[in-house]
Amino acid sequence: MSGVNQSPGVVVVSKFISFNSKTFSSYIDYMDREEAKRNKSFNRYSLYNDYMGNPKKTTGLFNKDTDLMNDNEKLDAKELFVKAQKNKSILWQDVFSFDNKWLEKQGLYNPRTKELDEKKVKDAVRKSIGFAVEKKCIAETCVWNGAIHFNTDNIHVHVAICEPNPTIQRGKRTQKTLDIMKSKFVNELLDSKENFLDINNIIRKDIVDSKKNSKIKEDKKLKELTRNVIRNLPKDKRHWHYGYNTMNDAKKYLDEMTKYYIDTYKKDEFKELILKLDKQEDVFKETYGVGQRSKFKDYKENKIDELYKRMGNAFLTEIKAYIKREDELDKIVNQKKINKLYSNKSSKLIISKKELKNIEKALSNEFDSIKNMDYYQRLQYKIDNGINI
C-alpha cells in the first residue's frame, strides 16, 4: 500500500513465567548467554536485571519514578527480584519494539546522530505499565524496571515486573488489556491525546454546544423536523434518549436534523473534524500495521456516530423543555377554565324564598338565644350582689 508501512510502527509483546519455569520466554533469549554460563546458580530474576542494565546494550535502567537508576537503586531492585523469586512470584516480561523509520517519521529518533527521545519513550512505558499493574491490582505490591535497548536493528524496551510479596498467582492478561496497554503507550508517545482532544472539542464545543447560541430557532426546516420527532416519540418519556430502541422512529428525524444543521450551519467545522479523523486514522495505520485494520477501522465511524448521538440528545433536551413548557401552560389554561366554571356557577346560584326564610329564622333564633343568655347573666349578677330587681 502506497504511503503506508506494511509492518506496524510499534509492537507490544507481553509474556510471563512462573518462578520455577523451565523455559524462557522470547525475552530471555535476548540475555547474554556467556554471562549465563558464568552464573552457576542461574538465577533468572537477577540475571535478567543484569542484562537489563548491561551498558553495552542499554543507556541504563529506569523505573516508575526514576529515569536513570543509580547503583544503589539497581542493587535494591535486584534484591527485590531475588526475594520475589524465592517467594514464588510471577515474573512479567514486556517488550515495546519499534520500526526505526516510524520513530524517525514521528520525530522521536535521529538516525544520523543515533539520538532517541528517551524521556518520551520512558513516559509512554510508564503510562502503559501503570495501566497493566492497576488492572492486575498489583500497583501497590509490585516493583518494575525497564531499559531501552539499541543492540538490534529495532530499538526496543524491556520491562520486568514482579511482586516481592506475591498477592496473585495468575499472570495472564486479557487481549483487551494488551490492546489498551498498547493504545496508552502509543497515545502518550505521539501526544495523540492532543489530537483526540481537538477531535472531541470540535464535536462537543464547536458543533454541539454552539447550537445553543446559534440563531436557528426560526429555521422552518428544523421546525418541521422537530414536529416529526415529537409525533414519533415513544409514550414513555423515560425513553426519550437517543440510544433507546424505542426511539427508532424518532431517531431518523433526529439524524436528519443533525445532518441539516451541520450542512447549513457547521459545514467548516465538520470538514475540519473529518480532516483530523483521517489524520488520526493514518497514524493508526502506520502504528498498528495494515494487517491490524480491525484495531482502527471503526474509529472514524464511531466518532461520527458519537457526534450524531450528542446532537440527537441535544435536540431532545430542547424538545423536552418545550413540551414541559407546553404542559405547564396547559395546566394554567385548564385551571383558569375550572376557576371560570366555578365562578359562573356561583353567579347563577338561585336561593328560593322558602330557603331564605328558613335562614332568617335560624339567624333570628340564634340571636334571641344570645340575648336571652345575656339577660340571664345580668339577672344572676344582681342576685349575687343583693341588688334589687
Q: Which class for 307: exposed (0-12), middle (13-18), buried (19 or more C-beta within 10 A)?
A: buried
Assign residue 144 the CATH number of its domain. 3.30.930
- Cα 136 from Cα 130, distance rounded (Å): 10
Residues 151 and 285 both lie in one domain: no
- Cα 31 from Cα 253, distance rounded (Å): 63
Which uninterrupted H or E stretch holds 122? helix 118-135
Q: Which residue has the higher pLDDT, 261 or 386?
A: 261
Residues 115 and 206 both lie in one domain: no
Residue 233 clears pLDDT 60, i.e. is over it:
yes
Residues 185 and 205 both lie in one domain: no
The tally of CA atoms less than 13 A away on the side-chain side of residue 257 is 32
User: 304 falls in which pLDDT band (50, 70, 90)?
Assistant: very high
Residue 131 grid cell: 495501566
| Percentage of the chain exceeding pLDDT 70 | 69
- Cα 254 from Cα 247, distance rounded (Å): 10
As for how many domains the chain has, the answer is 3
Q: Given this model, what pLDDT does residue 36 score?
A: 38
User: 156 falls in which pLDDT band (50, 70, 90)?
Assistant: very high
**In Å, what is the CA distance from 284 to each residue of 104, 201, 251, 292, 332?**
16, 20, 31, 9, 58
Give 325's DSSP letter: H
CA triple 380-382-383, angle to 5 deg? 65
Residue 274 clears pLDDT 70, i.e. is over it:
yes
The separation between CA 289 and the C-alpha centre of its own chain, rounded to angstroms, equals 27
Residue 3 lies in a domain: no
Residues 206 and 277 both lie in one domain: yes
Residue 328 lies in a domain: yes
Q: Which residue has the cell 502518550?
A: 188
The residues near 133 (Cβ < 8 Å, ≥ 6 apart) are 139, 142, 144, 161
Residues 302 and 364 both lie in one domain: no
Residues 171 and 50 both lie in one domain: yes
Residues 273 and 374 both lie in one domain: no
Q: What residues are paired with 92 via a beta bridge?
A: 16, 161
Residues 91 and 124 both lie in one domain: yes
- Cα 221 from Cα 382, distance rounded (Å): 94
Tens of pLDDT along 25-46?
333 333 333 333 334 444 545 5
Cα dihedral 335, 340, 345, 349 in deg (nearest 10): 130
Residue 203 lies in a domain: yes
> Could you tell me if 286 and 5 are in contact, meaning their C-beta atoms sit under 8 angstroms apart?
yes
User: 365 falls in which pLDDT band (50, 70, 90)?
Assistant: low
Residue 2 lies in a domain: no
**In Å, what is the CA distance from 202 to each residue of 260, 275, 379?**
17, 11, 97
Residues 169 and 292 both lie in one domain: no
Q: What are phi and psi of 20, to 5 degrees?
A: -115, 20
Q: Give the residue from 190, 225, 242 where a domain finishes.
A: 190
Q: Give the residue from 159, 190, 221 where a domain finishes.
A: 190
Residues 146 and 267 both lie in one domain: no
Strand pairing category for 143-149 and 58-63: antiparallel
Residues 276 and 152 both lie in one domain: no
Residues 282 and 167 both lie in one domain: no
Range of the domain at 27: 10-190
What is the pTM (predicted TM-score) of this model? 0.60
- Cα 52 from Cα 184, distance rounded (Å): 23
Query: What's the rounded mean pLDDT across residues 223-244?
Result: 90
Residue 180 lies in a domain: yes
Residue 5 lies in a domain: no
> Could you tell me if 326 and 311 are in contact, meaning their C-beta atoms sit under 8 angstroms apart?
no
84-93, 145-154, 344-353: least confident range: 344-353
Q: Give the residue from 190, 214, 240 where a domain finishes.
A: 190
The amino acid that residue 38 corresponds to is R
Residue 204 lies in a domain: yes
Residue 66 lies in a domain: yes
Which uninterrupted H or E stretch holds 144? strand 143-149
